[in-house]
Each structure stands twice: as structure tokens, then as C-alpha cells.
């Protein structure tokens, strides 16, 4: 019964997020926080399927193309090297976010919006003395689609010494170009 309720909520969420960029970002992070602990780096096919309703067609294609390029590289080197991308790719912090709060969203035109998102990471109990909580802000770029606002990119704004920099689309493009 609980699975049925969860499935219905997931199906309803994209429709609820259709009209407001902030709602779309909240819907994305609702799925993201449940998936990023299950896998790091480029999401596998199962996780991409869960994220698909919340992402733009362009970002969905980029993720699939990057996963394909990574698989080709892994096969070519027979698992002799780690994945090109490791850690969380949807935020500035390698460990990912455990909580979020969507801030102001600005529409530059009818097709694009940018939302500031305050993110935080709280290490799980027993993570060790080196694991520290972190707070930062990233920017989520959304594209207007016939189905409503969809996440199209993430701008990594935190500036962590060992975190992601630039944009998600740039990182995925690097993976795709490295093994077409």
C-alpha cells in the first residue's frame, strides 16, 4: 500500500511542478535526495528513469550519452580505471546534499528560469571525525517544456576546493567527448 501511495505521488509531482519554476526544483530535489545515496557519479538507468520526469529532454539525453560514453570507456580499459565522474554530480559537494531550500527564481524569458538553492549536507552517524556538515548555494537552470518547467542544468556556485566547478552540462559534455 505504501508503495502505491509513493508511486502516485511521483506520478503527480511532475504535473504539480508544471507552472512554477520553484515547484519544479522542489520536485526534482524530492527525487534527488532519495537517489543520490544509492549511486554516485553518472546515474545508472534506473536512477535516470526516476529523474527523467523532472529533467529537460536535453539534460536527459546528455545523461544517457554520458552513461554510454562511460560504459564504452570502462569496457575499453576493462575496469582498470575509476569512472570519469565520481561523487554527486547534481551539486557542488562530492557527498551531495541532504537538505535543500529553494530561494528566489528569476525568469530571463518565457523559456528559461534560474533558481538559487541553499543546500546542506549532514554526515550520517558514524561517518567519522573527518566528515563535516556543509552549507552552500547552487543555481538550478530550468527550461520551459510543453510539460512544464524542467531542470536543464546546475551551476556549481559553492567554490569548494575539491568540489564540482562550472556547470553540470559541461562535466557531462567532457565525459561524452572523451569517448564518443
CATH of the domain at 163: 3.10.450.50
Overall average pLDDT of the 105-134 stretch? 88
Question: Whole-model pTM?
Answer: 0.82
Range of the structural domain that residue 61 is part of: 2-178
The grid cell for 36 is 543520490
Range scoring the smallest mean pLDDT among 4-8, 37-41, 79-83, 122-126: 4-8
Can you tell me the mean pLDDT for 71-98? 79
Tell me how long the chain is.
Answer: 180
Q: Given a cut of 50, is residue 169 above it in pLDDT?
A: yes
User: Distance between the two ends of the chain, CA-based, in angstroms?
Assistant: 44
Is the torsion defined by CA of 116, 133, 35, 5 positive or negative? negative
Q: Please state the domain count of the chain.
A: 1
Instruction: Give the C-alpha separation, 3 to 17, whole Å.
Output: 21
Q: Check residue 57 and give its pLDDT.
A: 98
pLDDT in tens, 27-55: 999 999 876 654 578 888 999 999 999 99
pLDDT band at 126 (very low <50, low <70, confident <90, very high): confident
173 burial (CB, 10 Å; 0-12 / 13-18 / 19+) is: middle
Amino acid at each position: 500500500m505504501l508503495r502505491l501511495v509513493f508511486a502516485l505521488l511521483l506520478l503527480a509531482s511532475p504535473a504539480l511542478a508544471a507552472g512554477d519554476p520553484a515547484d519544479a526544483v522542489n520536485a526534482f530535489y524530492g527525487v534527488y535526495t532519495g537517489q543520490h545515496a544509492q549511486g554516485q557519479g553518472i546515474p545508472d538507468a534506473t536512477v535516470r528513469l526516476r529523474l527523467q520526469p523532472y529533467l529537460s529532454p536535453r539534460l536527459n539525453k546528455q545523461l544517457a550519452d554520458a552513461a554510454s560514453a562511460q560504459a564504452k570507456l570502462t569496457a575499453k580499459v576493462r575496469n582498470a580505471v575509476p569512472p570519469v565522474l565520481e561523487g554527486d554530480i547534481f551539486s557542488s559537494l562530492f557527498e551531495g546534499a541532504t537538505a535543500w531550500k529553494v530561494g528566489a527564481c528569476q525568469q530571463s524569458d518565457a523559456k528559461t528560469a534560474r533558481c538559487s538553492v541553499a543546500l546542506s549536507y549532514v554526515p550520517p552517524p558514524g561517518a567519522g571525525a573527518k566528515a563535516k556538515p556543509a552549507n552552500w548555494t547552487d543555481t538550478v537552470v530550468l527550461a520551459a517544456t510543453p510539460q512544464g518547467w524542467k531542470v536543464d542544468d546546475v551551476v556549481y556556485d559553492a567554490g569548494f576546493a575539491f568540489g564540482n566547478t562550472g556547470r553540470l552540462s559541461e562535466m557531462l559534455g567532457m565525459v561524452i567527448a572523451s569517448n564518443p
